[in-house]
Structure 1
Amino acid sequence: MSNDTPIPASSPLSYLDLIKICDNFRLPPNYGSADVVQKPSDIDSFVPWTLTQSRGSPTIGLLRLDVVDLLRKEKTGTWVIPEPQVGHSISFDISVNTPTKRTAALKELCERWRDAGAFPASIGPKQWRDEMYPVYRNPFGVHDHCLESDSDDGNYAFEMERAACRLFGVVTYGVHMTIYEGIPNSQQVKLWVPTRAKTKQTWPSWLDNSVAGGISSGMPIFESLVKECAEEASIDADIVRNHAKPVGAVSYFFRNRMHFLQPEFQYVYDLGVPPDSPFRPCPSDGEVESFDLLSLDEVKSKMRQGLFKPNCAVVLIDFFVRHGHLTPDDEPDYTEIVTRLHGGFEYERWGQQV
C-alpha cells in the first residue's frame, strides 16, 4: 500500500468516495480472453497462480505480467510456467507438494529478489517485514494452520513474507478494533484514534483504527487482536478477552500505487469504555505516535479530509452503519456502500483462464 504522507482532500470526500479509494479494483472485462496483451509492461493483465497445473486446482493469487516474466528466468523444478496462451496459469512444480516445500521455495525466491533489487518499492530492504502471512486454498475457508504438521490435506497451503504478498496477489487477513467511549449509537460517542508513527514502513503519519494489524501465520484470529492491543496500545490481555466484541468483517479489492493487487479481509471488533473512564490506550512498540479521544464529528471531518488510512476509513464507515450514524434515510449511496463493505474480490473469476 502507499507510503505517501496524508494530504487533506481539496473538497470533502463522501463516504462512497472513501470506499472507492480502498475498494478500487475490478478485473477487466477481457480477463482470460485471447485479446489480452501479453507484454510485461501491461499493468492491467494478470495471470492466475494455482497450486498445480491440474484442472480444478485452486487459484491462490493473481500475478502481474512483469512478475511472470521474472519467474520465467527461474530454474526449472520449482515452477511451471507455460507459454502465454488462453487458459494458462502459473503454478508450483508437482514436486513442490507440501506447505513446507512451498514455503521454502518462496522464501528462497523472495529473499533473492530482494537482495537483487527486484521490485524495491514492494520487497526492498526498507519494505521487508520479516513476518510470515498464511495463504489458503480457499481464501474464504477455515484458518487451519498447524505448526506441528506438514499435512497437505487442509485449507492451509503455505506461508510467505508479508511484503511479498502484494507481488503475488494473494488474499491477506487482519484485525481492526474500534475503541469507543460512551453509548455507541449516541451522537456524543467518542472514538480513540491513533496517529501512525512517522517511521512506519507503510502509511506513516496517517490516522488509524484504535488497534489494527495483520494476522501472522499460525496465529488465531482473536489472539492476533490480543497481541496487537498489547503491542500498539498497551492494553492488558484480560481487558481485551473480557470486553472486545466480534462484530463482523469488511473486505475490499485494493490495487496499490505500484499497481499490484492486495485483496484484504479484516475481522472487525468493538470495545466499549464507560464515559469518563480512566482507561487510556498508550503507544508501546513505536508504531503509534499518539492516541486522541475524538468526538464523532471530529472523526467524520478527518475522514472526509482524507486523513485516515483508507482501510481504516472503511472500518469506521462499517461502525457508523452498525450503530446508526449512517442510515438509508440520510445517505443516498447507502445501498452501494453497504454492499461494497463486504466484497468477494471477484474470486469466482480468478481461475476462469484455467
Structure 2
Amino acid sequence: MNAAVQNPSFEAWVAGARQSARRPPAQPRQALVVAGQVVGSVAEGFLNQISPCRLLGKRYKLSNQEHSGAMAWCIDGPADATTDALNTLAAALRDAALCGPWRDEQLAVCNPAGEVVGTVERGAVRVLGITTRAVHLVGLAPDGRMWVQKRSMTKPNNPGLWDTLMGGMVSAADTLPQALARETWEEAGLQVGALNALQHGGHVDFSRPSREGGGAGYMLERIDWFRAEVPAGMEPCNQDGEVERFDLLPPGTVRDQVAQGQFTLEAGLVIAGFLGL
C-alpha cells in the first residue's frame, strides 16, 4: 500500500484541500469581454467602483451590456490593443485599491479557445478572473528525502509557509520549460540541466474565490508540476530573496507538516500528486 494512504491525517487533509481548490465564486460574476472576445470575468457590479472616464481618455469604452445572451463587462477597442486596454483597466483598479499586489509582471491572457490574445499585469488577474499558469518542482535527494523551501516573510502571498523546492508563475514571456528553468534558478540557484531524471509529473487545477479586490477576486489556475533528483553534493541557494531557507526532509515528515497546514495549499496538492494520492 502507498505510504501516503496509511496516513489518515494526510489523506483527510488532501480530501479537504481538493474541495477548497475547486469552489464556485463567492458572488455572481459576469464575463469580461475585450474586443469581442471573452478573456475573464468580474464580480457583478465590481467595475462600477471605477470611473469610466479612466478608460475613455485612452480610446476605450467600458460598458455593462449583453453579450451572448447574458450581461457582461465589455471594453471596446481594436483587437491589436487588447494588452493596452487590459493594462489601462488594471491601472484604474490599482489606483482605486481594487486589485492585488502590483508586480510589474505581465501574464498571458487567453480566449476560450486557449489562444493568447494579449497580456495583463499580474496584480489584476484575480479580480478580472483571468486564467493563469504556474509551475512547481518537487526536488528529491538521491536517498529519497525531499527538498522544501520556507517562503520569505516579505512574500505578498502565504509568507512564512513551506513550499516545494520551487513554485512560480509562468509569465507572458515564458514557455512552460522556460518558466521551469527561470524559476528553478531564481528560487533555488539550480540549473535544470544539472538535475537528474527531470520529468513532468502532472497538474493541479484551481478555481476558487480570492481575497483580492475586497474578496471580489476569483482564482483560475493550472499548476504543472515536475520532479527531479538533485545530485549528491548539490544544494539549493536562493537568488531572488523570496526564500527564507531550504530543508531536506523525509517524505513522512513532509506529509505530517502538510496535514498540519504548514505548507501552502498549492504545494500540498502538488506533493499529494507526487505521492500518488
Distance between the aligned counterparts of 1:92 and 1:200, measured in 2?
Answer: 33
Identity of aligned residues (%): 24
CA 96–72 in structure 1, closer or farther in 2 if over 3 Å, else same: farther
CA 239–79 in structure 1, closer or farther in 2 if over 3 Å, else same: farther
Tell me, yes or no, if the aligned pair for 2:167 and 2:183 is still in contact at 8 Å: yes
Tell me, yes or no, if the aligned pair for 2:52 and 2:61 is still in contact at 8 Å: no
1:62 is the counterpart of 2:62: no
Q: Which runs of 5+ in 1 are unaligned?
A: 1-10, 28-42, 142-154, 184-188, 327-354
1:81 is the counterpart of 2:75: no
Distance between the aligned counterparts of 1:109 and 1:259, measured in 2?
Answer: 16
Distance between the aligned counterparts of 1:318 and 1:178, measured in 2?
Answer: 10
Distance between the aligned counterparts of 2:20 and 2:267, measured in 1?
Answer: 11
Query: What are the within-5 Å matches in structure 2 for residues 173-212 of structure 1?
Result: 173-182=133-142, 189-212=144-167
1:313 is the counterpart of 2:268: yes
CA 305–234 in structure 1, closer or farther in 2 if over 3 Å, else same: same
Q: State TM-score, norm by structure 1.
A: 0.68
Deviation at 1:261, TM superposition (A): 0.3
1:26 is the counterpart of 2:9: no
Q: State TM-score, norm by structure 2.
A: 0.85
Tell me, yes or no, if the aligned pair for 1:249 and 1:266 is still in contact at 8 Å: yes
Selected match of 1:96 from 56, 78, 92: 78
SS in structure 2 opposite 1:118?
coil
Tell me, yes or no, if the aligned pair for 1:79 and 1:90 is still in contact at 8 Å: no
Distance between the aligned counterparts of 1:19 and 1:214, measured in 2?
Answer: 20
> What does residue 263 of structure 1 align with?
220
Tell me, yes or no, if the aligned pair for 1:194 and 1:208 is still in contact at 8 Å: yes
Structure 1 segments (4+ residues) deviating >6 Å: none
SS in structure 1 opposite 2:257?
helix
Deviation at 1:111, TM superposition (A): 2.2
Deviation at 1:282, TM superposition (A): 1.4
Distance between the aligned counterparts of 1:245 and 1:104, measured in 2?
Answer: 37
Deviation at 1:71, TM superposition (A): 5.2
Deviation at 1:254, TM superposition (A): 2.1
Distance between the aligned counterparts of 1:81 and 1:92, measured in 2?
Answer: 7
SS in structure 2 opposite 1:279?
coil
Deviation at 1:97, TM superposition (A): 1.4
CA 256–109 in structure 1, closer or farther in 2 if over 3 Å, else same: closer
Distance between the aligned counterparts of 2:157 and 2:111, measured in 1?
Answer: 27
Tell me, yes or no, if the aligned pair for 1:78 and 1:96 is still in contact at 8 Å: no
> What does residue 45 of structure 1 align with?
28
Tell me, yes or no, if the aligned pair for 1:72 and 1:81 is still in contact at 8 Å: no
Q: Which letter maps to 2:60?
A: T
Q: Which runs of 5+ in 2 are unaligned?
A: 1-8
Deviation at 1:238, TM superposition (A): 2.5
SS in structure 1 opposite 2:119?
strand
SS in structure 1 opposite 2:125?
helix
SS in structure 2 opposite 1:253?
strand
Query: What are the within-5 Å matches in structure 2 for residues 1-354 of structure 1?
Result: 14-23=13-22, 25-26=23-24, 44-53=27-36, 57=37, 59-70=38-49, 73-74=52-53, 75-76=55-56, 77-83=59-65, 87-93=70-76, 95-98=77-80, 101-115=81-95, 117-119=96-98, 122-123=99-100, 127-138=101-112, 141=114, 155-182=115-142, 189-240=144-195, 243-257=197-211, 258-273=215-230, 277-321=232-276, 326=277
> What does residue 344 of structure 1 align with?
none
> What does residue 4 of structure 2 align with?
none
Tell me, yes or no, if the aligned pair for 1:194 and 1:207 is still in contact at 8 Å: yes
Equivalent pairs counted in the alignment come to: 261
Distance between the aligned counterparts of 1:109 and 1:48, measured in 2?
Answer: 15
